[in-house]
Amino acid sequence: MDHSTALLTDRYELTMLQGALTAGTAHRRAIFEVFARQLPNGRRYGVVAGTGRLLEALESFRFGGPELEFLTSQGIVDEPSAAWLESYRFSGNIWGYAEGDCYFPGSPILVVEGSFAEAVILETLSLSILNHDCAIASAASRMVRAAADRPIIEMGSRRTHEMAGVAAARAAYIAGFRSTSNLEAGRTYGVPTAGTSAHAFTLLHDSERHAFQAQLNALGPGTTLLVDTYDVPRAVAVAVELAGPELGAVRIDSGDLKEMAREVREQLDGLGAPKTRIIVTGDLDEYSIAALAASPVNGYGVGTSLVTGSGAPTASLVYKLVARAQTDDGPLRPVAKHSVGKPSKGGRKWAVRHRDDNGRAIAEVVSTSEPTSGPYDRPLLTPLVVNGEIVAREPLSEARDHHEQALAELPPSAFQLSRGEVAIPTKFVNGS
């Protein structure tokens, strides 16, 4: 992002800054923590995504002339606050769960340490990115598990905000999707892109035969032909007649996909095209993907349900002050509000995934002092920013790997699609 991200901020963060500067409390050391009180929708686990995007956005979080002009002309901040913002660079430390790792209720997936002033104004930027990307990755991971070894193409850009679509493609890729329809995600993040044609292409031409021939001429026989514009069996027959047994795939986007897949597979085999694959699309989610497990389907395209988090479009992550000093350099003391129904646990947190000797996860252990890890435990927080310097930049492929490894640790109950208990309990351990 070349633009300043500084105004992707809720106004109250800047009024709090001004209040604290006025009161002389702005420079107290503080720790903010990002966590989810619970997982949405009875999910068994959540998936961390967005961290890489957040670190990029943090680099562009600068209050330049245009931003300050807006803030002062609108009376949103006074001159001393504007002066402070002008020289703002986050100079603190950030630790986080690795992108692709799993999280559970109370997991401190991001820990931000700095002065109150410099940390409080990162709330909205952090939550926007993490709430969106974690919601998408969490839904995507379930779809990938449901699809087992069959690839899934992400194709939801048309159903969400134009920039959210790009981020969704990235998050889905972390969680194991094979590719995306979104070209900007291909350019910006290197996610492999896919896609061939829509019904419009068939309708443009004088007949389905003309349309198929046009597509084969342009893209070769390995392409995917969309066969449900008029009559599926007729379309499949024409497709194989024109492309031969080398036809890459046919796509079915409507109807009873289970029944259709069976019939089309039979027809393709009968026509001597046993290698031609069947791709199904059309309002799929993890449940309908699971229902197609026994059907002769070779790949899925998922749109709406992916970009809307399959019923949970936001991850319910919050950004809370958990500790602060009472003087600028005093010791950090835990703090927590007492609001009804919204419990928070005060104090700086550490976290390990407690595992047995088979490497199987048993509990998420969150402690308020540095933990003494068991021999198989896996520490979860890694340094992302040290003294204002970003120290963790990893290719997306590593996040994909993290995710596979993190899933491999989870007990089988994690992969039930039904609503239920989280896969492992979170144990809070009080430190000294």
- Binders of a copy of itself among residues 25 to 54 (CB under 8 A) are 25, 28, 30, 32
Among 60, 72, 196, 267, binds a copy of itself (CB under 8 A): 196
C-beta of residue 252 within 8 angstroms of C-beta of residue 264: yes
Among 202, 276, 367, 368, binds a copy of itself (CB under 8 A): 202
Q: How far apart are CA 223 and CA 238, in angstroms?
A: 14
**Stretch in the footprint of a copy of itself (CB under 8 A) among 95-103, 179-187, 290-298, 379-387:** 179-187
Paired tokens of 84 = 């402070």
Within positions 62 to 121, which residues make up the interface with a copy of itself, using CB under 8 A? 66-67, 70-71, 74, 76, 78, 116, 120
**Stretch in the footprint of a copy of itself (CB under 8 A) among 292-300, 316-324, 359-367, 418-426:** 316-324
Q: How many CB atoms lie within 10 A of CB 256?
A: 10
Least distance from a copy of itself to the Cβ atom of residue 208, Å: 10
Name the CA dihedral angle for 304, 305, 306, 310, rounded to a multiple of 10 degrees.
150
Measured from the CB atom, the residue of 198 and 294 that comes closer to a copy of itself is: 198
56 binds a copy of itself (CB under 8 A): no
Indicate the burial class of 146 (C-beta count within 10 angstroms; 0-12, 13-18, 19 or more).
buried
Supply φ then ψ for residue 153, to 5 degrees. Answer: -95, 130
Among 39, 111, 129, 280, binds a copy of itself (CB under 8 A): 129
Q: How far apart are CA 288 and CA 203, in angstroms?
A: 28
Among 203, 294, 391, 429, binds a copy of itself (CB under 8 A): 203
Among 98, 112, 194, 239, binds a copy of itself (CB under 8 A): 194
Among 52, 90, 96, 132, binds a copy of itself (CB under 8 A): 132
Among 149, 338, 375, 432, binds a copy of itself (CB under 8 A): 338
Among 278, 321, 361, 424, binds a copy of itself (CB under 8 A): 321
Measured from the CB atom, the residue of 51 and 182 that comes closer to a copy of itself is: 182
Among 248, 313, 374, 425, binds a copy of itself (CB under 8 A): 313
User: Dihedral sign, CA of 229, 230, 232, 238?
Assistant: negative
Among 10, 377, 394, 401, binds a copy of itself (CB under 8 A): 10
181 binds a copy of itself (CB under 8 A): yes
Residues in the chain: 432
Q: What is the DSSP letter of 122?
A: T
Output the DSSP codes for 358-420: TS-EEEEEEESS-----TT-EE-EEEEEETTEE-----HHHHHHHHHHHHHHS-GGGG--SS-
Within positions 224 to 243, which residues make up the interface with a copy of itself, using CB under 8 A? 228-231
Supply φ then ψ for residue 126, to 5 degrees. Answer: -65, -50
Binding track, positions 204-223, relative to a copy of itself; x by CB under 8 A: xxx---x--xxx-xxx---x
The strand pairing partners of 114, in sequence order, are 30
Among 167, 279, 306, 381, binds a copy of itself (CB under 8 A): 167
Q: How far apart are CA 113 and CA 125, in angstroms?
A: 16
Least distance from a copy of itself to the Cβ atom of residue 273, Å: 21
Least distance from a copy of itself to the Cβ atom of residue 111, Å: 15
Among 60, 267, 298, 304, binds a copy of itself (CB under 8 A): 304
One-letter amino acid for residue 16 of the chain: M
Least distance from a copy of itself to the Cβ atom of residue 224, Å: 9
C-alpha count within 13 angstroms, C-beta hemisphere, residue 224: 23
Least distance from a copy of itself to the Cβ atom of residue 149, Å: 23
Q: How far apart are CA 416 and CA 145, in angstroms?
A: 10
**Stretch in the footprint of a copy of itself (CB under 8 A) among 238-246, 315-323, 380-388, 422-430:** 315-323
Q: Name the 3-class secondary structure at 31.
A: strand
**Stretch in the footprint of a copy of itself (CB under 8 A) among 128-136, 142-150, 374-382, 423-431:** 128-136
Least distance from a copy of itself to the Cβ atom of residue 36, Å: 12
**Alpha helix segments (H runs only) across 75-161:** 79-86, 116-120, 123-147
